Amino acid sequence: MTKNVFKLLSIPLLLLGLYLLLALIWRIFHLPTDKALFEVLKGYFTEYGLWLIFFGAIIEGFLLLGQYFPGGLIIFLGVITAGHDIKRVVLVVFLVCVSFLISYSLNYVVGKYGWYKLLVKFGLKDSLDDAKR
């Protein structure tokens, strides 16, 4: 009975401990507040945002890299930092669409000409032949 209770409480207690540890580190090193951090981030997006969104969306749309890269967060922050400027929002959405078109085209080319040869070099020819059947 107590093992089940401990298992149920272990994850929330671990998350609480992690939060308290991060809060302690934040205070020890006198890191900036959330508002100051947002202003710094907004400044970076104002200066480098369109390039960051463009390349972030390409990586997000690429087959294997997109699962490990926070491109969705970059796209979301790009739209949020555009604010009420409709032209900038439209530009961000256009860049994301072009980036996804490029990444999906790259996925097609790599899939047509590259993945099979690469997987065969890793010794997966039998598995690929089984998958074809």
pLDDT reading at 21 higher than 80: yes
Which range has the worst mean pLDDT, 14-18, 24-28, 32-36, 103-107?
32-36
Answer left, alpha or beta for residue 101, where phi above 0 means left and psi between -120 and 50 means alpha: alpha
Where are the chain's structural domains?
Answer: 1-31, 32-132
59-75: burial string, b at 16+ Cβ within 10 Å, e else = bbbbeeebeebebeebb
pLDDT tens for 47-102 read: 888 898 899 899 888 877 777 777 888 888 888 888 888 998 999 999 999 999 99
The one-letter amino acid code at 97 reads C
Which range has the worst mean pLDDT, 1-5, 25-29, 33-37, 121-125?
1-5
